[in-house]
Amino acid sequence: MDFFFGLGFDWSFLNPTTSFPAFFVKAILPPLVYAVHGYIATWLAVRMLFRPYEAWYVPFTNYQIPLTPGIFPKRQPKLAQAVASTITETLLTPEDIRRRAEELVTEENIYKTVDLFVDTVFLKEFRDTTKLHRLASDIATLSPTIVRQFVDSTISALEHGTETRVSAITEKLFDQVLMTTRINLDQANEIAARLMENFLTPEKVRNGLITLLSPTNINALEESINVHASGPYRILARIIGVKRVCNEWRTFLEKEPNEAHKLIGDLTKRFGIKHQLAVQIANFDLRSMPLDNIANLKKNVVRFVEGFLIEHKDDILEACKRLEDEAIVTVRNAVLRFNPEAVPGDWLTGMKRNISGFAYSYLNRELGHMVEQAIPALGVHDLIATKITQFAPQQLEKLVYRICQNELHALELFGLMIGFFMGAFQIFLNGITYPTH
């Protein structure tokens, strides 16, 4: 203590003989006053961030009192824009949203969604009779449009060479149906009868023979016999006069059509052409053909189907339109007769897997582009800014206090501590400035 007094500082209040009021005024009161001052100043500064909520004016004038309203209410539109920009440009960027969406969009998650939708929504709705009838009517009404659009888009894609489903389906039908199909004898007889009635009639056979026995073909037949037939057969052909016989046969076919029809019909019956044709049809098996022939036949069938669809596009669309009423009734009855309990579990699981696989492949390819388009369309920045702008000052204050309550309270205490130390420092300065004499 003698050391401090020796420095000339005014430390008289530390003298034991100093009275308590003098000690309180000189040593205790300044830090307390400064501490209270620091706390109140900080508390007031924090409150003035939000209050007053509205502008105050000098009574009976239009003069606005400075610092009214509070900083946040006064700058709320700019605050809203700043917060929205911070969130959309830094905290919640389109790249972050896209990356998070790609993490969530997995085939397993999509399968869980499809499974939940099918089990709890789709199948459940089919058990409600009223909803089932309404659903059946809606689907039936929409079905003709869907069919026409599907047919039109499919054939248009065939025309541009971008459609592969038709060829794939045709090849699958060829392999699983045509290759394994066998025609029984009754069916073969029916087919043979239709062929005889439409393609092998006496008139068509007569015309075919007349065309075959043309002078050019008869001369070619005679030359071929002379070149390739052995000696005895060549002599026999000359004795018979193959060329003369063919010309007489042609003349008979041309000049005696009625007799020719009777002759051809009688020979067809005597030779059992119909039965022989039916036996050949019944015994025919595509699998006995060479593999190259089967492959070429398959390609020809695919080309035929595609060409038929392209050539008769208008006719097919017109047929779809004419069958619209029948399609609506058929689809409606099919939906009404649908029984969810009759669906095989394995098929349902496979269907869910197929849907989820299709959705995953599509989203995996298009999700990034979809997110980039969706975020600007959603207007997240404007939405956030509008929401903040619409906050009442009281709501804004409560929001900030809910987020920063501890920090703001610590700031007030920090003001108190600064005030206390400023009071202590003031005592120290007084001791230096007013030394004891």
Helix or strand or coil: residue 100?
A: helix
DSSP per-residue letters across 11-28? -GGGSTTS-HHHHIIIII
Two tokens at 236?
């026999």
- Measured N-to-C along each axis, helices 129-160 and 313-322 cross at an angle, to the nearest 10 degrees, of 170
Degrees, nearest 5: CA angle 139-140-143:
80
79-129 tens-digit pLDDT:
788 877 877 777 677 777 777 777 777 888 888 888 887 777 666 666 666
Query: Phi, psi (5° rounding) for residue 64?
Result: -85, 130
Label residues 411-432 b or e (16+ Cβ within 10 Å = b).
Answer: ebeebbebbbebbeeebeeebe
User: How far is the CA of 39 from the CAs of 128, 420, 429, in angstroms?
Assistant: 69, 9, 22
- pLDDT band at residue 7 using 50, 70 and 90 as cut-offs: very low
Query: Phi, psi (5° rounding) for residue 434?
Result: -120, 75
Using alpha carbons, select from 386, 278, 332, 318 the residue that is nearest to residue 152.
318
Measured CA to CA, the distance from residue 191 to residue 187 in angstroms comes to 6
Find out whether 144 and 327 touch, Cβ atoms under 8 Å: yes
Measured CA to CA, the distance from residue 380 to residue 377 in angstroms comes to 8
Find out whether 346 and 116 touch, Cβ atoms under 8 Å: no
User: How far is the CA of 300 from the CAs of 181, 291, 392, in angstroms?
Assistant: 18, 14, 76
Q: List all residues 6 or more positions away from 203 whose beta carbon is below 8 Å from its beta carbon.
A: 257, 261
304-362 tens-digit pLDDT:
988 888 898 888 888 878 877 777 788 777 777 766 666 677 877 888 888 888 888 87
Query: What one-letter code names the amino acid at 330?
Result: T
- Please determine, for residue 297, whether its predicted confidence score (pLDDT) is greater than 70: yes
Q: Is the peptide bond before 69 cis (omega within 30 degrees of 0)?
A: yes
Task: Return the bridge partners of 57, or none.
Answer: 64
Proportion of the chain above pLDDT 90, given as a percent: 1
- Mean pLDDT, rounded, for 181-201: 86
Q: Is the peptide bond before 52 cis (omega within 30 degrees of 0)?
A: yes
- Please determine, for residue 25, whether its predicted confidence score (pLDDT) is greater than 70: no
Two tokens at 408?
């703001």
Measured CA to CA, the distance from residue 373 to residue 370 in angstroms comes to 5
Query: For 344, left (φ over 0), alpha (ψ -120 to 50), or beta?
Result: beta
206-242 tens-digit pLDDT:
898 888 888 888 888 888 877 777 777 777 777 777 7
pTM for this model (two decimals): 0.42
- pLDDT band at residue 404 using 50, 70 and 90 as cut-offs: confident
Q: What is the model's pLDDT at position 425?
A: 78
Query: What one-letter code names the amino acid at 265?
Result: G
